Amino acid sequence: NRLIANLNKKQNMAQTEIKLKIRIPHILVDTRGASPKLLEALAPGLEHLDARVHILGEGASHLPHVFSAEEALEHADMWVFLGKELPSDFKMIAERGIVPILQQGSHKEASNYLPAKEEGNAFLFQEASEWHVYGSLVRALENFAFVYDWKSIKENTQSTFS
C-alpha cells in the first residue's frame, strides 16, 4: 500500500504543471527632438538593464530600433521621452497605459510617482542628463516589479493624460 501511495504521489507531482509568469519590462526610448549625445551617453546603462529596450528615433545604432510609434505601442510598458517637447502621439501613448518617463516641466499635469501615497502619473527627471534619466528609469523599473503599484500608476497615467 505504501509503495502504491508513493507511486501515485510521484505521478501526481509529475503531472502538476508549475506555471510562472515572468514579467519582463519593455522600455521604449524616444529620441525624437533630443540631442543624439544624450542617447549615446545613456546607451551603456541601457544595455545592462533587465528589460527589453528599443529606440524610436536616431542614434545608438547598436541597440534595437522600432520603425514607428505604432509598432512600439504594441509592447511598451514605459516610454522614455528624451526630448524637451512631447510628441503629438503622447496622448495615445498615455491612453494605452504606457507609463511616461519625462523631463520635469514637459507636461503641466505630469507628477512624479510616489508609491507610498499611490500618487503621481509619471517618473520625472530634473534635467536631460544620462544620470538623471537613468535614475528615473531605475525608479520605474523598481516599481514595475510590484504589480499593484504598477497597476496604480498605469491607471493614474490613463486618467490624467487621456
Q: What is the pLDDT of residues 26-35, one digit of tens each?
A: 999 999 888 8
The SS3 of residue 37 is: helix
Give me the pLDDT at residue 156, please: 92
Give me the pLDDT at residue 75, please: 86
| Residue pair 36/59 in contact by the 8 Å Cβ criterion | yes
pLDDT classification of 63: cutoffs 50, 70, 90? confident
The SS3 of residue 116 is: coil
Report the half-sphere exposure of 114 (CA within 13 A, side-chain side).
4
Q: Is residue 7 pLDDT above 60, yes or no?
A: no
| Most confident listed range (34-38, 61-65, 76-80, 115-119) | 76-80
pLDDT classification of 72: cutoffs 50, 70, 90? confident
- What is the chain's mean pLDDT, rounded? 86
Taking residues 2-6, what's their average pLDDT? Answer: 61
Taking residues 55-73, what's their average pLDDT? Answer: 80
Question: 140 or 89: which carries more pLDDT confidence?
Answer: 140
Structure-block grid coordinates of residue 156: 493614474
Give me the pLDDT at residue 132, please: 96
Give me the pLDDT at residue 134, please: 95
Q: Is residue 15 pLDDT above 80, yes or no?
A: no
Nearest Cα residue to 93 out of 51, 56, 120, 52:
56
Give me the pLDDT at residue 69, please: 82
Q: Is 74 exposed, middle or buried (0-12, 13-18, 19+ CB in 10 A)?
A: exposed
Taking residues 120-131, what's their average pLDDT? Answer: 94
pTM metric for this prediction: 0.83
Give me the pLDDT at residue 26, please: 92
